[in-house]
Amino acid sequence: MKCKIMLWAVGWLFMSFTGIIYASEIEARSRIAKVTLYPDSALVSRQAGLKLNPGRQRIVFADIIPEVDEDSLRVSFQGNAQVKLFGARLRKEFLREDPSERIKELESQIKELEDQKKKTEYDKEILNKEKQFLDSVRFFSEAQLPKDLVTKIPQPQELEGLMKFLDAKWKENYSGYIDCEFKVREIVNKIDVLRRELSQMSGPRQKLKRSIEVDLEVIKDGGGELALSYLVRGGSWQPVYEARADFEKSEVELVSNAIVKQNTGEDWQDVEMILSTAKPLAGGNMPYVSPWFIRPYQPPMQYAKERKISDMKVKMSAAWQSAAFDSETDKDGAARRTVSYSQAEEKGVAVTYTLNEKASVKSDGSEHKLSVSSQALAARFEYSAYPRAISSAYLGSKVVNAPDLQLLAGRVNVFLGGDFTGTANIPGVGPAEEFDLYLGADENVKIKREQIERKVDETLIG
């Protein structure tokens, strides 16, 4: 009896254990919903709608193209189902075939274009041989006509027919040859574009199939959205401004834009875009500062001895301080920081901008210009001149920033009266802070440097 109870208990434990290991696996159909873009990286957020039944589940986000920072993985769930999350992990699988359908499509398009190029070049070769034949007919006619004139005078209709025939064939041949040249050039350009896109998507990372697995337990069935975010390289942004000066209103319209580009391998289509000045890849630890020891001058021999002792103290001090830094890092680095973003908000040491409209950015490294904000700022205009160097008056302005706007350092494209006058640069400007904005030389203001009077002191020292 005891043996049966023992076997039943072992079997129940084994079934429970295998139930945990062999949980049902669901492949999620996800889309990129939000991107937080940093100056040197991007935090990509995916969302997947799910209907869950009670029990342990494993949700798989398949075909993750870019190389993911595994330490940055974060998951959350919202819905009417009651779910307990156990975390996420990255799974890498070596493949013999290329995992990307887009790469296969690009390779197929390139092969088709190369076949078209070969056919067009073959047509060019035929046209070239046809031209050689027409040239040989012309050369034969030039040699044969003088001989025929000795025995027989050709009829005008015969000569005219020959000339018309050669002229029409030459024009047709030349037109076809030029069309083939243009077609080959167009095909080569298309192949170059596709190969550039293929080179950005291909590479060592495409030899792996990356998937992200999320383990969870469904306590109460229902539906909801599972959100997954991860940090990737290959994204960047920088600010650029447009300043339009208005003399009558004594103000400057400052339009803030962001130049965004990315080559992560995934296109961002209609995503919520957040721009941040934080640099997650840079780390937060300050470099170690070694102490300086100041002492009175010592003779060389004695100084050399004490220098050895001092070096030992410095090394011991560095080791102690490094150990202290490591212990603090272990404590603080264990917990992952979560930052909530809002429009033009300063959080800690970073400034974030949430765009009002959704954005689309292709993974081809091309620059995309996105609007961030537009502000009418109060300005005080003034002229500055340096007549000794140049006879021009430069228009400048003292601009007061908006109380709720943080401006980053960047290039400014300056417009005056609707005309582009040049570029300037502004430093980082805080809310309600005054800064200088130079608008360029005003050709309507003339400056002349002229010596009005010259005085010389002729006092003699007697």
Whether the pLDDT of residue 442 is over 60: the answer is yes
Q: How many CB atoms lie within 10 A of CB 121?
A: 13
Per residue in 343-358, pLDDT tens? 555 554 578 888 988 9
Mean pLDDT of 399-428: 86
Where is average pLDDT lowest: 95-99, 217-221, 375-379, 426-430?
95-99
pLDDT number for residue 268: 93
Mean pLDDT, range 418-439, rounded to an integer: 86
| 228-279 confidence digits (pLDDT tens) | 999 999 999 999 999 998 888 888 899 999 999 999 888 999 999 999 988 8
pTM above threshold 0.75: no
212-239 pLDDT, tens digit per residue, is 999 999 998 898 999 999 999 999 999 9
pLDDT of residue 422 exceeding 50:
yes
pLDDT classification of 318: cutoffs 50, 70, 90? very low
Q: What angle do CA 410, 414, 415 make, to 5 degrees?
A: 155
Average pLDDT over residues 71-79: 90
Say what the pLDDT of residue 384 is.
85
Please determine, for residue 169, whether its predicted confidence score (pLDDT) is greater than 80.
no
Q: Is 223 exposed, middle or buried (0-12, 13-18, 19+ CB in 10 A)?
A: exposed
pLDDT at 141: 61
> Mean pLDDT over all residues of the chain?
77
**pLDDT value of residue 280:** 83
In tens, the pLDDT along 128-157 reads: 877 777 777 666 665 555 555 445 555 666
Torsion of CA 62, 65, 71, 76, to 10 degrees: -50
Q: Is the pLDDT of residue 67 over 80?
A: yes
The three-state (H, E, C) secondary structure of the chain, written as one string: CHHHHHHHHHHHHHHHHHHHHCCEEEECCEEEEEEEECCCEEEEEEEEEEEECCEEEEEEECCCCCCEEEEEEEEEEEECCEEEEEEEEEEEEECCCCCCHHHHHHHHHHHHHHHHHHHHHHHHHHHHHHHHHHHHHHHHHHHHHHHHHHHCCCCHHHHHHHHHHHHHHHHHHHHHHHHHHHHHHHHHHHHHHHHHHHHHHCCHHHHEEEEEEEEEEEEECEEEEEEEEEEEECEEEEEEEEEEEECCCCEEEEEEEEEEEECCCCCEEEEEEEEECCCHHHCCCCCCCCCCCCCCCCCHHHHHHHHHHHHHHHHHHHHHHHHHHHHHHHHHHCCCCCCCCCCCEEECCEEEEECCCCEEECCCCCCEEEEEEEEEEEEEEEEEECCCCCCEEEEEEEEECCCCCCECCEEEEEEECCEEEEEEEECCECCCCEEEEEEEEEEEEECCCCCCCCCCCCCCCC
Task: Determine which of 36-40, 282-286, 364-368 has the lowest per-residue pLDDT on average.
Answer: 282-286
CA atoms of 418 and 415, how far apart (whole Å): 6
What whole-number distance in Å separates Cα of residue 359 and Cα of residue 368? 10
In whole angstroms, give the CA distance from residue 36 to residue 45.
Answer: 8
In the predicted structure, residue 196 carries a pLDDT above the cut 50: yes
CB 100 within 8 A of CB 208: no
pLDDT tens, residue by residue, 323-346: 433 444 343 433 333 333 235 555
Q: What is the average pLDDT across 170-176?
A: 78
Average pLDDT over residues 400-405: 85
